[in-house]
């Protein structure tokens, strides 16, 4: 019985840590600051899972998926908004604009 519990615990830990490897942690955003360039953001966070743009505001959005906590069930969506090539806003996106999972 103890062997089965140990196997289950190892499997659960492996699954959870696998998501962190794929998506990274939300704490990565502590390294982002206002005024950074797109190149600097990508150096810190890696390639976004999606991008968007608003020509009227001259804004570009970089969308990332990150695990909020070590034991999070699913990754959450985070956004970095650049205006005129510089970060003007970043953080967790509380209202999903796209129901597709990426």
pLDDT digits (tens, 9 = 90+) for 43-77: 999 999 999 999 999 999 999 988 876 665 678 88
pLDDT digits (tens, 9 = 90+) for 4-33: 655 555 545 444 444 444 667 777 889 999
What whole-number distance in Å separates Cα of residue 47 and Cα of residue 28? 13
Under CATH, to which class is 2-92 assigned? alpha beta
Q: Which residue has the tokens 């289950």?
A: 8
Annotated domain spans of the chain: 2-92
Residue-level pLDDT at 28: 85
> Strands (DSSP E) along 1-102, which ranges?
50-54, 59-66, 76-83, 86-92
């Amino acid at each position: 019985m103890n062997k089965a519990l140990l196997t289950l615990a190892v499997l659960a830990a492996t699954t959870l840590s696998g998501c962190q490897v794929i998506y990274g942690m939300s704490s990565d955003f502590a390294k982002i600051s206002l005024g950074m360039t797109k190149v600097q953001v990508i150096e810190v966070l890696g390639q976004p899972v999606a991008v968007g743009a608003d020509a009227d505001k001259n804004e570009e959005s970089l969308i990332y998926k990150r695990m909020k906590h070590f034991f999070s069930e699913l990754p959450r969506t985070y956004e970095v908004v650049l205006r005129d090539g510089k970060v003007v806003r970043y953080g967790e996106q509380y209202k999903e604009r796209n129901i597709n999972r990426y």
